[in-house]
Structure 1
Amino acid sequence: MAKEIVINAEKDQTRIAIVEKDELVEMYFEGPENERTLGDIFLGRVRRVLPNIQAAFVDIGQKSDAFLHFSDLSDNLPLINEFLSAEHPEVGTTKITASPHKRIRRHRPLHGRRRNGAGQAPKSEDRQKRSGSRPTAEERHRRRSAQRRPAHTANQKSQGDNKQKQAQPPVSLETLLKPGSSILVKIVKEPISNKGSRVSTDISLAGRFVVLVPLGDYVAVSRRIQSYKERRRLRALAKSLLPKGFGLIVRTVADGQNAKALDTDMRLLLEKWRRIEKKLQEKAQPPVLLHEDVSMVSSIIRDLFSEEFEQILIDNPRLHRNVKNYIHAVAPHVAPRVKLHKGPEHIFARAKIDKSVQEAFESRVNLASGGYLIIEHTEAMHVVDVNSGRAGKGLSQEENSLRVNLESARAIAKQLRLRDLGGIIVVDFIDLRDDRNRRKVFDELRREFRKDRAVTKVLPMSDFGLVQITRQRLRPSITTTSTSTGDAVTDNGKPAEVELAVPQDLPKAVVEKKKDPRRFETPDKVVNRMEKWLERFRAARKKGPLSLHVHPFTAAFLTRNVPSQLTKWSLKYRLRIHLVSNDDIDPMKFSFFDRAGNDITFPKRTAKTDGTPRSERKDGGPRAVKPRTPPRKQGRPAGRPQPKKAEN
């Protein structure tokens, strides 16, 4: 399969595209508004512990407190707390027990299990009571043997169990997580909308070939390595390199690598951990960032690049040099595949994915058969609606529905992967009467989702034609949008325009100005006017960076989402747009300036403007037309005296 990585690096943003068979399948971007925080390690402070929801909130210095679920607590959490409380924190001096997972007592429901004063009732007795039948001979023999057993034997056994429990006393979660205490956490899911990051106490450092686990004391090999002989070789190799006090996980890309490659990668990770220990030894007060993971480009190269990729195309010379040096260090034989893009043509246009990049931000996705998809985002889930459109000429209703649904299933799997949509997704397919056809659509979805690296679960189609999908979500989607909960809406769900009362004693000109609907339109309509201007600008084949001057309130509205509206415009129209806030501009108006500082919002104007429409300007309005003088009647010219009649 032909694969390549295309990287577009600009001043304020970097975009990474994964291409398979000349089709865009994945896309990532990184900039000042959405910096990558996945994998960062913090020394946080526990804010609240809520046993009723099995979670705690941790302050790590971000806008919102991080969410720590009890299921994300590692088994070696007592060892981590002991490591943090040491005077000189160092992994090599912390004693690791043989089975640390037995030291945590988790509160789990019994799920209906019957318990009495002596403990849980035997299953045979429960079965007997439910069925009402007599016990079998084997059960009667077991019961008589238990009755004949000496009492001191049972007491000795119970005493032995108590001694074993005293050797490893269980520790409750309330003891490990106390409000105000310090805790070492790692971000496993980036913040989305108003929700904070999700963190875990399972601390690890990922490299190219191995993953270093402090206080782990175990060796594991990736399950994707199928060969038993290779797995055994890598396990033995990792055990020989394992440092004291650490665990090691061998990654899939380590298949076929020698000891030198694994040892070099592990030593780099050890140096990173030593820097973390040094920060902890300085007694830094939480919250503090201990380790910042690599950038988005480095993580993509580290985790995805393999022998299957034919090339890495980069349009930035400096980034090209850094990536090539890294590839030359870890895999010298594939370093020539890193290429630099030169020329006036955009790098996405050269890779023939420019149209796919624009379609990734559209809510409508057209299908080859004539049907189309509508993808919408709500607070709780993503919703996909399948429409037949003009497809299916000459086919029966069932055949047409099946054909469109199968094509939609392939397109949905592709769009979810491309847009990185996570959480709950509900798909409304066209109704199918035959159960076999429903099964075909379900199988097609599962087959397409096997290509996705994210963990995805699909439920069969319901009687209403709905398919429920859950997809792993680690970062915000590239098309994530959030709506303000305080906006007024009309009956049809659209934002309502604000109407203000006009005093009766104002002059007529002022009243007409206040009644101008443009002055009280919603921010969404202002954004729509900006986008229409950009469409006309690109339709005229104009290029170059632009500066958008708006009121600070409008600027906040444009940058409130992740990604922001400016980011979407930059990706859609391939323009660099710089936002400038100006208090003197009306909140409902805007101005675009070119590189030279000329106002190009309206044609044939170079002076600065505040975005006032041409029809409202004194110098740009329609010229006053003088009323035409009615034509004179035919006859003697005016002003000449009429001749007198001759006298007889």
Structure 2
Amino acid sequence: METKLLITKLIRNHTTYIATALYSGKKLLELYLEPTEQESILNNIYVGRVKDIVKNLNAAFIEIAPGKPCYYSLEDCHNPLYVKKINSPRMVQGDEVVVQVVKENIKTKPPKVSTNLTFTGTYLVLTTENTSLGISRKLPDEERERLKQLLEPYRNDKFGIVVRTNAAQVEDTKIFQEYETLKQEYEQLMQNAVHRTCFSCLKKSPPEFLSLLKDVHQAELNEIITDDPELFDQINAAGFHATFYEDKLLSLHNLYSLETRLQEALNERVWLKSGGYLVIQPTEALTVIDVNSGKSIAKKKVQEHYLKINLEAAEEIAHQLRLRNISGIIIVDFIDMKEQSAKDELMLHLKQLVKKDSVPVQVVDMTRLNLVELTRKKVRKSLAEQIEGEN
């Protein structure tokens, strides 16, 4: 089935968004909304100032602008680049240090920053504190070994190299060219940083839709489509090939029912083909998903019927986590099953499904109460949070 990436502008309640939507056929897999009037700070690099050290959290709060503190874990403090250092071997209040925003502010939590700076390309990522050579685990073993041998001569003690999934089957020259580009970007920033004043933005990340474009598995992407001339120029200038959609009778987002899919992704209830349904309820601490049999009724072999609904629910849950960008702790209350073999089948099925997610998902365990625990890495805001500020 063809995979397409739609990048278009969408207006909701007087707010204009750049919508980045990944489709498999007509099924919407991922959707991100970026307000045109509000710039994201994710992946920006700043000269920050340490405002507070919180010993019981083993953390610091580092301001990247006056009155804008960010959370920083001192466990991650390995070899930071200081612009100004108070006379102490440890990080202390008043230090000025180069940091990168690695998580947006989510709900009441402030943004999170790291001193492990990353320079991200389509095929590679350079990292400043982790100096190892890492290869994407999503690649086959044979391809992992080939790429490891290819880049082994470039290992050094200044920065690390992470090979992304998109490097698979790519010409060696393209990988080497990107390596040189990222290396120059890293060297220039490191040289300039020590001469910049506090709260300077050393590197501004590209628009969110271009960052998302780099994250998409290029080998599985058949087409990038946009109907906006400005976005079309930006996509092609970034080295990607976009198709320009032009039809005055049928808009791009209507062709793909984007607004309808968005509204469905914001609903609490999700219906299953069997007649069962999910109830998805985010809370401050975690997200709870309840699986219900609903209109699905079995007169015979009830346990087999429950397993069938649960397997269908698992597929839809994996889809909804990705579509809604639900992250953190997720608790799923599946329909109770008596047989351990049925529970094992469900857990194995769920683990296989979440491997398709572009964000790391871990299926932790099933509790004695038959609640399934998952975690999904937090990076960007959930879909619901992306439009929270609508008027």
- State the TM-score, normalizing by the size of structure 2: 0.87
Contact 2:18 2:36 in 1 (8 A): no
* Distance in 2 separating the partners of 1:208 and 1:37: 20
**Pairwise CA RMSD of aligned residues?**
2.8
Q: Deviations over 1:163-199 (max 9, x none)?
A: xxxxxxxxxxx73211111111111111112211111
Partner Cα separation in structure 2 for residue 444 and residue 60 of structure 1: 43
Residue 413 (structure 1) aligned to one of 305, 318, 325: 318
Contact 2:72/2:112 (<8 A) preserved: yes
Question: For residue 9 of structure 2, what is the amino acid of its counterpart?
Answer: A
| Alpha-carbon distance in structure 1 between the residues aligned to 2:173 and 2:347 | 46
TM-fit CA distance, 1:202: 0.7
Specify the alignment match of 2:239 in structure 1. 327
For the structure 1 residues 62 and 312, does the alpha-carbon distance in structure 2 shift closer, same or farther, using more than 3 Å as the test?
farther
Q: Note the C-alpha offset of 1:236.
A: 4.5
Q: Which of 12, 15, 20 is the matching residue for 2:24?
A: 20
CA contact (8 A) 2:84 2:96 kept: no
The match for 2:229 is 317
Quote the offset at 1:404 in angstroms. 1.9
> Among residues 234, 243, 265, which one is paired with 1:338 in the alignment?
243
- Deviations 1:329-355 (CA, angstroms, capped at 9, x unpaired): xxxxxx3x6343433323233235553
**How many Å apart are 1:62 and its aligned residue?**
6.9
Q: Which amino acid aligns with 2:109?
A: K
CA contact (8 A) 1:221 1:235 kept: no
Identity value in percent: 27
Contact 2:276–2:295 under 8 Å retained in 1: yes
CA distance in 1, matches of 2:336, 2:210: 45
What is the Cα deviation at residue 462 of structure 1?
2.8
Q: Could you say which residue in structure 2 is the equivalent of 1:252? A: 165
CA distance 1:5–1:185, shift in 2 (3 Å): same
Rounded Cα–Cα distance in structure 2 between residues aligned with 1:565 and 1:70: 32
Q: Which residue of 2 aligns with 1:390?
A: 295
Q: Could you tell me which of 345, 369, 390 is aligned with 1:464?
A: 369
The answer to whether the 8 A contact 2:47-2:196 is kept is: no
The aligned residue for residue 296 of structure 1 is 208
Larger radius of gyration: 1
SS in structure 2 of the partner of residue 16 of structure 1: strand
Residue of structure 2 in register with 1:266 after alignment: 179
Q: CA deviation at 1:211?
A: 2.4
How far did 1:361 drift? 0.7
* 1:486-526 superposed Cα distances (whole Å, 9 cap, x missing partner): xxxxxxxxxxxxxxxxxxxxxxxxxxxxxxxxxxxxxxxxx
- What's 1:474 paired with? 379
Q: More relative contact order in 1 or in 2 (CA 8 Å, sep 6+)?
A: 2
What displacement does 1:24 show?
Answer: 0.8
Deviations 1:372-411 (A, max 9, x none): 1111111111111111111124344323322222211111
Are 1:238 and 2:143 matched, yes or no? no
Aligned partner of 2:113 in structure 1 is 199
Matched, 1:563 2:387: yes
- Kindly state the Cα deviation for residue 474 of structure 1 after the two structures are TM-superposed: 0.8
Aligned to 1:628: none
Q: Is the 8 A contact 1:63 1:196 kept in 2?
A: no
- SS of the aligned residue for 1:176 comes to coil
Secondary structure of the equivalent of 1:59? strand
Contact 2:98/2:193, CA 8 A, preserved across alignment? no
Q: Determine if contact 2:2/2:221 at 8 Å carries over to the other structure.
A: yes
Give the Å deviation of 1:212: 2.9
Determine the C-alpha separation between the residues in 1 that align with 2:323 and 2:175.
Answer: 33
1:190-239 C-alpha deviation (Å, 9 max, x unpaired): 11122111111111211223323447765544444432652244224635
Report SS of the residue matched to 1:359: helix
The match for 1:188 is 102
8 A Cα contact 2:8 2:228, kept in partner: yes
Q: Which residue identity lines up with residue 212 of structure 2 in the other structure?
A: I
**Cα distance change on mapping 1:384 and 1:259 into 2, 3 Å:** closer
Change (3 A) 1:376 1:323: same
| Alpha-carbon distance change, 341 to 392 in structure 1, aligned in 2, over 3 angstroms | farther
* Consecutive unaligned residues in structure 2, runs of 5 or more: none
Q: Does the CA contact (< 8 Å) of 1:204 and 1:213 recur in 2?
A: yes
Which of 360, 366, 374 does residue 265 from structure 2 map onto?
360
How does 1:80-119 map onto structure 2 within 5 Å?
A: 80-81=81-82, 84=83
Cα offset, 1:445, TM superposition? 1.4
Change (3 A) 1:352 1:219: same
Aligned residue in 1 for 2:3: 3
Write out per-residue CA displacement over residues 543-572 of structure 1, whole angstroms, 9 at most, x where no aligned residue: xxxxxxxxxxxxxxxxxxx42263xxxxxx
Asked if structure 2 preserves the Cα contact closer than 8 Å seen for 1:311 and 1:339, the reply is: no
Work out the CA distance in 2 between the residues paired with 1:63 and 1:451.
40
Q: CA deviation at 1:245?
A: 4.5
Higher normalized helix content (fraction of residues): 1
Number of aligned residue pairs: 384
Q: Distance in 1 between matches of 2:152 and 2:195?
A: 37
Q: Which amino acid aligns with 1:7?
A: I
Amino acid at match of 2:387: P
- Is 1:71 aligned to 2:114, yes or no? no
Q: Is the 8 A contact 1:216 1:245 kept in 2?
A: no
Q: When the two structures are superposed, what TM-score results if normalisation uses the length of structure 1?
A: 0.55
Query: Is the Cα–Cα contact under 8 Å of residues 44 and 183 in structure 1 kept in the other structure?
Result: yes
State the alpha-carbon separation in 1 of the partners of residues 309 and 138 from structure 2.
35
Q: What letter matches 2:206 in structure 1? A: V
Residues 327 and 474 of structure 1, relative CA distance in 2, 3 Å threshold: same
Is 301-310 or 446-455 further displaced after alignment? 301-310
Write the distance in 1 (CA, Å) between the matches of 2:112 and 2:226: 32
CA 1:49/1:435 → structure 2, altered by over 3 Å: closer, same or farther? Answer: same
Alignment of 1:208 with 2:122, yes or no, is yes
Amino acid across the alignment from 1:253: N
CA shift in 2, pair 1:42/1:436, >3 Å: same
After TM superposition, give the deviation of residue 48 of structure 1 in Å: 1.4
Structure 1 spans left out of the alignment, 5+ residues: 87-173, 329-334, 481-561, 567-578, 580-648
* Deviation, structure 1 residue 282: 3.9
Give the AA of the match of 2:296.
Answer: A
2:44 counterpart of 1:40 = yes
The verdict on how the C-alpha distance between 1:401 and 1:230 changes in structure 2, with shifts beyond 3 A counting, is same
2:58 corresponds in structure 1 to 54
